[in-house]
């Protein structure tokens, strides 16, 4: 038995996306920049995907830039927006629980002389929009706040933050990687200027992402070498991956509401059963304002990495948090950012459900968690 409960790290490729990708590799192998029929066939596949993704997030296709993934899209947004801003003194506002795709470029901007404010969040993992307003300076040029957190699933009040940013004349970037396909996303209604997404969180292949750029939003290039993507991102486009992304977006649009409701019920059943059966356990962050598939739980007295291995040996793939931080010695910056002591942060696990998970699988996972926690606590006492 091998059951997958780590969909926030990556998702299996949906059959519809796989079929589309294979079709492109075999039939539309031309360069989308070429003017002959092979190139134009590839371009048609790419533009169809652009329309499908645009429909999913509520924007015009021309506002989307395809990238190599969410990290590149985040870098393009953060670095591009700040470097395009006039004036020698520039300031960025972000939060302490952002993904490294945002925190990393923010650190680079600090090396370039840009001031960065990292706002705290409450124990529920949610940012107070009032703190954004209070952090504004005359030289603030960018606010970058994630839509949904990758470890907790907590959803930030983006529309409120967007109103604050708009009133101040400040560009707003939102990391939407963990929101896409899990909750409704309408970038126009939200009022954001930049919105980054990733294909492999949406049952499409790795190596593809996109950045929504509101018309009129200035971003400087972070790479050079060509005029692809309307001059905003050079390099020959990954047409098969992009086409698969489009197929996955179309599928997500059709099943978003029903699948979100189904997965949320499974997630809640998982938590309720664990809380009932495992003493000294609890849920990290808000249980109300989060994506429907994500649960982050602590098990006092248990090492999270040991728990991950124990569950893997029992046939369950779970995570202690962000996949890109696996193997890190320090506790999760997200969990310490919501005020957890280091010991509890290290005893926390993330369960992220997806389309393949069933009630029977959840029941089996609960049994495995109960057994693993009991075993690990027992050997810890005798160690």
CB 323 within 8 A of CB 9: yes
Q: Of the residues 24, 106, 277, 324, which is catalytic?
A: 324
The stretches of the chain forming alpha helices (DSSP H) are 15-27, 37-57, 70-84, 100-111, 129-135, 158-168, 187-190, 228-231, 239-277, 304-313, 333-337, 342-346, 359-382
Q: If 0-12 CB within 10 Å is exposed, 13-18 middle and 19+ buried, where does residue 122 land?
A: middle
Q: What is the CA radius of gyration of the chain?
A: 21
Sheet with 209-213, side-by-side order of all strands = 64-67, 209-213, 194-198, 171-175, 140-146, 91-95, 115-119
| Strands 3-4, 316-317: pairing kind | parallel
Backbone angles phi, psi at 61, to 5 degrees: -55, -35
Which residues on neighbouring strands pair with residue 273, listed in sequence order?
none
Three-class SS of residue 34? coil
Contacts of 268 (CB under 8 A, 6+ apart): none
- The whole-angstrom separation of Cα 281 and Cα 304 is 13
- The whole-angstrom separation of Cα 335 and Cα 347 is 10
Backbone angles phi, psi at 100, to 5 degrees: -55, -20
Backbone angles phi, psi at 379, to 5 degrees: -75, -25
3-state secondary structure 180-222: CCCCCCCHHHHCCCEEEEEHHHCCCCCCCEEEEECCCCCCCCC
- The whole-angstrom separation of Cα 146 and Cα 235 is 27
Give 30-37 contacts, CB < 8 A, sequence gap 24+. 31/236, 32/236, 32/237, 32/239, 33/228, 33/236
324 is catalytic: yes
Catalytic residue list: 324
């Amino acid at each position: 038995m091998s059951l997958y409960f780590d969909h926030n790290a990556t998702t299996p490729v949906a059959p519809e996306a796989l079929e589309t990708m294979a079709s492109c590799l075999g039939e539309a192998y031309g360069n989308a920049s070429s003017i002959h029929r092979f190139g134009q066939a590839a371009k048609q596949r790419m533009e169809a995907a652009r329309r499908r993704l645009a429909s999913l997030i509520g924007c015009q296709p021309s506002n989307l830039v395809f990238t190599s993934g969410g990290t590149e899209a985040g870098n393009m947004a953060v670095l591009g927006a700040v470097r395009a801003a006039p004036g020698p003194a520039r300031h960025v506002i972000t939060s302490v629980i952002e993904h490294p795709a945002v925190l990393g470029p923010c650190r680079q901007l600090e090396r370039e002389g840009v001031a960065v404010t990292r706002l705290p969040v409450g124990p529920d993992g949610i940012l107070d929009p009032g703190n954004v307003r209070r952090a504004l300076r005359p030289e603030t040029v960018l606010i970058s706040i994630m839509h949904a957190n990758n470890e907790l699933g907590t959803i930030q009040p983006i529309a409120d933050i967007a109103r604050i940013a708009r009133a101040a004349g400040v560009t707003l970037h939102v990391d939407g990687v963990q929101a896409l396909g899990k909750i409704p996303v309408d970038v126009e209604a939200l009022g954001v200027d930049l919105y980054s997404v990733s294909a492999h969180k949406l049952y499409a292949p790795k190596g593809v992402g996109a950045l929504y750029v509101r018309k009129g939003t200035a971003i400087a290039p972070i790479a050079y070498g060509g005029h692809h993507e309307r001059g905003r991102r050079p390099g020959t486009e990954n047409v098969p991956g992009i086409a698969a992304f489009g197929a996955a977006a179309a599928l997500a649009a059709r099943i978003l509401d029903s699948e979100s409701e189904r997965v949320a019920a499974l997630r809640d059943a998982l938590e309720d059963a664990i809380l009932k059966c495992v003493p000294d356990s609890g849920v990290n962050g808000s249980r109300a304002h989060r994506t429907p598939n994500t649960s982050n739980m602590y098990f006092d007295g248990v090492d999270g990495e040991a728990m991950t291995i124990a569950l893997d040996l029992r046939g369950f793939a779970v995570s202690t948090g962000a996949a890109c931080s696996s193997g890190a010695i320090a506790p999760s910056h997200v969990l310490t950012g919501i005020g957890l002591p280091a010991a509890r942060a290290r005893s926390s696990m993330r369960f992220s459900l997806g389309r393949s998970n069933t009630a029977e699988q959840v029941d089996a996972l609960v049994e495995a968690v109960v057994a693993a926690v009991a075993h690990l606590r027992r050997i810890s006492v005798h160690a």
